[in-house]
Chain A
């Protein structure tokens, strides 16, 4: 499980800036440890505020995400139960869940990102990559785009990014 468990105390800088720093994310209970992430594709639940909300818990088929009866509690990810299916992703109203796959051996990582803008990227397209602060950090190739009834109009875009950016890239931009 990720870092020291937050009791839900509001994570400082995020409210002031409008986004989490990488350090803040790694300390969230919904964030797996980095060595767990290197083992297989896992969900990273970047939810760090006590908002009454629990669809991630309801949706997860393996019980890997726990919120508890008090639905303001922060979601905790049990990486040993997470099989990287991504069912949690489209149900999160905050679009705060990312699937991260750092198991490739070509220097790239694959990130599954929720994307609700047009035009949707196409398979094979190169897209601009942004970090949590909205800074452009590079380019990546789209491996797959999923959308359909179960996703309820939230497209999930699978993007290949340089591995060192696996926990940095959190948005894509179509540049055509």
Chain B
């Protein structure tokens, strides 16, 4: 059985930052990812990021990703790709699958940075070929450089929907419309402005009623909704499309936190069930930390800051750095994280994260589990 000081599960922006930070603080680090390449969703983000200079604002996600990979490689982190972690046992032991066998890895501290998965939306015809997650469309165009279709309806106007709609235009697809069931755009209005001025109709207060076609998606019907989000008969509009991209939210992939016996809470503001964690990104399971979307759906910039925090405190938990030194190293990242969560767009996340930090079961937070490894 192999052993390291810190094992990081998930090599997206949060995991890369956690691994780098733990390594910087003297740890032997293993960074594991089920995919063949590292970077998580970061290498699909071809747009420029928001935030401040400290957050690498104005830089494209793909370039930030390349820098993180270099940083991790330069620090001697053991990067294991194609290595899904399927178990978490006593003594902070991970079970890792690789090719046709499994092996075990024990760690002084673990950082779970497994991200989140796209939600589905069921409506008549939703299983037809051509209907996919917005992230799937993004992967196809920005990683594989293949158009999944030529004419797309985007369902959901959060940042994922707005950004992927723009990227579909950049890849040469037509975006027939963006619909959102709420009466307002969910993401940053500047993202909506970029596609609106390119001629894409943004239909708030609308949703998809059904999709029809001869064995494949050929036509979507959208309609307006009332205050209770019920479709309004008579308001239907039929739109010829071959693709429907669903950008209807993400759900944290917290399976390993459940396995670790972490105390979990159901927090709608954060996307679903998440592990309780404090400002150090520590869960209720000793030596188990979380970072990135698994700890609450947010964005890449916050994932990177949370990753740095988790990495530092994991290094402390592994006994490689003192509390004082860790607190000093953590401070700028905690401040940066606060900066990213300011303003009206940060309200939900702040509320959700506060509920977790307080360890309080509010009306919206259901508390489950509570054991530990």
Q: Which of B48, B188, B201 contacts A51 (CB 8 A)?
A: B188
**B199 to chain A: which residues have CB within 8 Å?**
130, 134, 171, 173
CA gap between A173 and B197 in the complex, in Å = 10
**A50 to chain B: which residues have CB within 8 Å?**
342-345
Can you list 8 A-B pairs with a CB-CB distance of less than 8 A?
A: A18-B178, A18-B193, A19-B196, A20-B189, A52-B52, A91-B48, A93-B47, A118-B170
Q: Tell me whether A53 and B50 are in contact in the complex, defined as CB-CB below 8 angstroms, given that A117-B169, A132-B196 are known contacts.
A: yes
**B184 to A15, Cβ gap below 8 A?**
yes
Which of B58, B183, B198 has its CB near the most chain A CB atoms (within 10 A)?
A: B58
Please tell me which stretch of A31-39, A41-49, A138-146 contacts chain B, meaning at least 4 of its Cβ atoms lie within 8 angstroms of it. Answer: A41-49
Would you give the shortest CB distance from B170 to chain A, in whole angstroms? Answer: 6
**A133 to chain B: which residues have CB within 8 Å?**
196-197
Give 1 or 0 for each of A17-33: 1 = CB within 8 Å of chain B CB. 11110000000000000
> B53 in the interface, Cβ–Cβ < 8 Å?
yes
Contact surface of A with B, Cβ cutoff 8 Å: 8, 10, 14-20, 46-55, 58-59, 70-72, 91-96, 116-118, 130-134, 152-154, 170-171, 173
Would you give the shortest CB distance from B192 to chain A, in whole angstroms? Answer: 4
Would you give the shortest CB distance from B301 to chain A, in whole angstroms? Answer: 9
CA gap between A86 and B172 in the complex, in Å = 28
**A15 to B344, Cβ gap below 8 A?**
no
Q: Tell me whether A93 and B48 are in contact in the complex, defined as CB-CB below 8 angstroms, given that A18-B202, A130-B199 are known contacts.
A: yes
Q: Which of A16, A55, A132 contacts B197 (CB 8 A)?
A: A132
Q: Which of A17, A91, A94, A154 contacts B196 (CB 8 A)?
A: A17
Q: Which residue of A lies closest to B203 (CB)?
A: A18
CA gap between A20 and B197 in the complex, in Å = 10
**B170 to chain A: which residues have CB within 8 Å?**
116-118
CA gap between A118 and B201 in the complex, in Å = 21
Q: Which residue of A lies closest to B195 (CB)?
A: A18
> B346 in the interface, Cβ–Cβ < 8 Å?
yes
**B202 to A10, Cβ gap below 8 A?**
no
**B178 to chain A: which residues have CB within 8 Å?**
18
Q: Tell me whether A53 and B197 are in contact in the complex, defined as CB-CB below 8 angstroms, given that A47-B190, A152-B60 are known contacts.
A: no
CA gap between A152 and B56 in the complex, in Å = 14
> B204 in the interface, Cβ–Cβ < 8 Å?
yes
Which of A14, A15, A95 has its CB near the most chain B CB atoms (within 10 A)?
A: A15
Contact surface of B with A, Cβ cutoff 8 Å: 47-53, 57-60, 157, 169-170, 172, 178, 183-185, 188-202, 204-205, 339-346
Q: Which residue of B lies closest to A20 (CB)?
A: B193
Would you give the shortest CB distance from A36 to chain B, in whole angstroms? Answer: 23
Q: Which residue of A lies closest to B178 (CB)?
A: A18
**B343 to chain A: which residues have CB within 8 Å?**
8, 50-52, 72
Would you give the shortest CB distance from B195 to chain A, in whole angstroms? Answer: 7
Q: Tell me whether A152 and B346 are in contact in the complex, defined as CB-CB below 8 angstroms, given that A19-B196, A134-B197 are known contacts.
A: no
CA gap between A46 and B51 in the complex, in Å = 17
Q: Which residue of B lies closest to A131 (CB)?
A: B197
**A96 to B193, Cβ gap below 8 A?**
yes
Extra contacts, 14 of them, besides A17-B196, A94-B50, A152-B58 (Cβ < 8 A), are A8-B344, A19-B189, A50-B344, A51-B190, A51-B345, A52-B340, A54-B53, A71-B51, A93-B57, A93-B58, A94-B193, A134-B197, A134-B199, A173-B199
Q: Which of B189, B194, B339 contacts A95 (CB 8 A)?
A: B194
Q: Which of A55, A116, A173 contacts B57 (CB 8 A)?
A: A55
Which of B59, B188, B195 has its CB near the most chain A CB atoms (within 10 A)?
A: B188
Q: Which of B190, B200, B341, B342 contacts A134 (CB 8 A)?
A: B200
**B189 to A14, Cβ gap below 8 A?**
yes
**B58 to A18, Cβ gap below 8 A?**
no
Which of B48, B193, B346 has its CB near the most chain A CB atoms (within 10 A)?
A: B193
**A8 to chain B: which residues have CB within 8 Å?**
343-344
Q: Which residue of B lies closest to A128 (CB)?
A: B199
CA gap between A22 and B20 in the complex, in Å = 47
| Ranked 3 nearest A-B pairs via Cβ | A94-B190, A18-B202, A72-B343
CA gap between A160 and B178 in the complex, in Å = 31
Would you give the shortest CB distance from A139 to chain B, in whole angstroms? Answer: 15
Which of A8, A55, A118, A154 has its CB near the most chain B CB atoms (within 10 A)?
A: A55
**A132 to chain B: which residues have CB within 8 Å?**
193, 196-197
Would you give the shortest CB distance from B53 to chain A, in whole angstroms? Answer: 5
